[in-house]
Structure 1
Amino acid sequence: MNVSRAARPAVPAVRRRSHFTPARIGVYAFLLTAALFFLLPLYVMLVTSLKPMSEIRLGHLLALPAHLTLEPWSTAWQSACTGLDCNGIQVGFWNSVRIVVPSTLLSIFIGAVNGYALSFWRPRGAGALFAILLVGAFIPVQVMVYPLVRVLASIHLFSSLPGIVVIHTIFGMPVMTLLFRNYYASIPLELFKAARIDGGGFWRIFLQLMLPMSVPIIVVAIIMQVTGIWNDFILGLVFAGTKNLPMTVQLNNIINTTTGERLYNVNMAATILTSMVPLAIYFISGRWFVRGIASGAVKG
């Protein structure tokens, strides 16, 4: 039996939710303000580095370059003066590369081995050792500078490339141990026991089983170590020596050089060149960093 259209119950009309609710407008406003807060200094540095000094003297800080030039970038890279030397910031760049690569590899490898041992093998005193490493991760760098100077001087490593690599490895080891220990704590213990039953030893289990499973946390560790060591100033200034000064120290020397005219466009170009590596790492591998954190970097 058909029911007439008039006899059917009325269906209430569904109101479409507005995309511009007060809460959503507030979130967008906050995000826009935060983006402007962080991007405005970068914009000022970029446009200033592309202007000639005659245009900078006019005082239009936010204006786009009227006469675009790349000469400040060339000067910053090749011929900017860092004190008495005028070889540009490229010297500091290659020094930073020579410091970052071995320091990152050594600290990550030692941290991975420590985290693996503390999670699965648990030698006698493992709890006390982990507590010491945890305390070491939060000791300020300034407290350790003078004792480390005396120690490195006694073994003839002060003001040398191996010396600054050892320093970064020492300071990176506690954080890396904590990172890998928490990651390995999320791996089922039965997997390790099965490998032990199959006859696997310490290094075989680590190299053939644990290390291939550690790719997400290794990516996180690489990002943390590369950006931390690259942006370091005080350790490079104290321990690297005059021939191995990293890029951050060279940048400081370029900006604070008092001879001649202060070239703001060259200073801005040198600043962007110095920060290029950390920026590139975050832009390229940011999603890998988030994926590694989500896969167990903060579990414990």
Structure 2
Amino acid sequence: MKNVHRFIIFGLLGVFALFFLLPFYVMLVTSLKDMSEIRGGSLLALPAGLNFEAWGKAWSNACTGTDCNGLQPFFWNSMAMIVPAVAISTTLGALNGYVLTKWRFKGSELLFSFMLFGVFMPLQVVLLPMSQVLGWVGLSDSIWGLITVHVLMGLASTTLFFRNYYIGLPDELIKAAMLDGAGFFRIFVRIVLPLSTPILVVTLIWQFTNIWNDFLFGVVFSGADSKPITVGLNNLANTSSSVKEYNVDMAAAMIAALPTLLVYVVAGKYFVRGLTAGAVKG
């Protein structure tokens, strides 16, 4: 009976997985077909051969509005934005979590409660005030403006992750290090960070995914030369032409999705472990 239940559960999970992966399959096979094959064949049919012409055009020649340089400049804009944004927001979140759990001060719990508002606050609320602030400091329509926005908006989540994880670290480790003469940053670097690998992986993947896939901030706060790949993909898909090239659109969508797919393939199991490691703390 136990084997029957297990068979039913795994069978249902397999069906749900296939249903979930069906759009990805359609995108992939469509991107490998030419337009004549798309018009004359089935949506689910495999391509006659591996044809990467649509991928090349989506990367370097497809029109995104009046610009016909493909997704390449948008891709590198996103890379230039995401590396410092993820690194800074994760570092600040780790320091915040460290302070709020191991160096508590009067009002620290109240401060953390206020920071939690940032996790649940609708993104649309900050558009106008953030635009004004970026204009005042001279960062509007720039890569560094986007980095600033994503760091500030991600700080609540990263702080929450690290705070909940660090609560489970024994206070005795910190006290023993203090007795040995170690200071704030030395304890953090030598003791706390080496124990933080699971939650570091979770936070890095979380921030990478959120920032890479963001469209709202990208379209509002970017300039002509700083638009991220999500904006470029939207412009490519909405650019009108005499012939709609579905294979190019699908190839562009795959290019935009590849970095996050690679991150989850490489580090997905660590993401799950890190989530469960901090799930019961707080």
- Confirm or deny a common fold (TM above 0.5): yes
Q: Which residue of 2 aligns with 1:45?
A: 27
Distance 1:286 1:298, change over 3 A: farther
Q: Which residue of 1 aligns with 2:142?
A: 160
Are the aligned partners of 1:217 and 1:297 in contact in 2 as well (CA < 8 Å)? Answer: no
Per the TM alignment, residue 26 of structure 1 is displaced from its structure 2 partner at its CA by 2.7
When the two chains are superposed, the root-mean-square deviation of aligned CA atoms in Å is: 1.4
Per the TM alignment, residue 240 of structure 1 is displaced from its structure 2 partner at its CA by 2.0
1:89 equivalenced with 2:71 (yes/no)? yes
SS at match of 1:221: helix
**What is the CA deviation profile of residues 129-167 of structure 1, one whole-angstrom value per residue up to 9, with x for unaligned ones?**
101111111101011111111111111111111111000
Per the TM alignment, residue 68 of structure 1 is displaced from its structure 2 partner at its CA by 3.9
SS at match of 2:40: coil
**What is the CA deviation profile of residues 87-108 of structure 1, one whole-angstrom value per residue up to 9, with x for unaligned ones?**
1111111111011000000000
**What is the CA deviation profile of residues 185-218 of structure 1, one whole-angstrom value per residue up to 9, with x for unaligned ones?**
0001111111111122211211221112112211
Identity %: 50
Q: Which residue of 2 aligns with 1:11?
A: none
2:187 to 205, 208, 225: 205
After TM superposition, the structure 1 = structure 2 runs for residues 8-23 of structure 1, keeping only pairs within 5 Å, are: 19=3, 21=4, 23=5
Per the TM alignment, residue 18 of structure 1 is displaced from its structure 2 partner at its CA by 8.1
Q: Which residue of 2 aligns with 1:260?
A: 242
Gaps of 5+ in 2: none
SS at match of 1:57: helix
Q: Which residue of 2 aligns with 1:6?
A: none
In 2, the alpha carbon distance for the partners of 1:147 and 1:85 equals: 31
2:118 to 110, 124, 136: 136
Q: Which residue of 2 aligns with 1:179?
A: 161
Q: Which residue of 2 aligns with 1:123?
A: 105
After TM superposition, the structure 1 = structure 2 runs for residues 208-223 of structure 1, keeping only pairs within 5 Å, are: 208-223=190-205
In 1, the alpha carbon distance for the partners of 2:113 and 2:50 equals: 56
Which structure has the highest helix share of the two? Answer: 2
1:170 equivalenced with 2:157 (yes/no)? no
In 2, the alpha carbon distance for the partners of 1:254 and 1:110 equals: 36
Are the aligned partners of 1:179 and 1:298 in contact in 2 as well (CA < 8 Å)? Answer: no
SS at match of 1:232: coil
Structure 1 letter corresponding to 2:169: I
In 1, the alpha carbon distance for the partners of 2:260 and 2:234 equals: 17
Structure 2 letter corresponding to 1:187: L
In 1, the alpha carbon distance for the partners of 2:49 and 2:271 equals: 40
1:63 to 45, 59, 66: 45
2:80 to 84, 98, 116: 98
Are the aligned partners of 2:161 and 2:278 in contact in 1 as well (CA < 8 Å)? Answer: no
Structure 1's consecutive aligned runs of 4 or more residues displaced over 4 angstroms after TM superposition are: none
1:112 to 70, 84, 94: 94
**TM-score under structure 2 length normalisation:** 0.96
In 2, the alpha carbon distance for the partners of 1:43 and 1:157 equals: 40
Q: Which has the larger radius of gyration?
A: 1
Work out the number of aligned pairs and report it.
Answer: 282
Gaps of 5+ in 1: 1-16
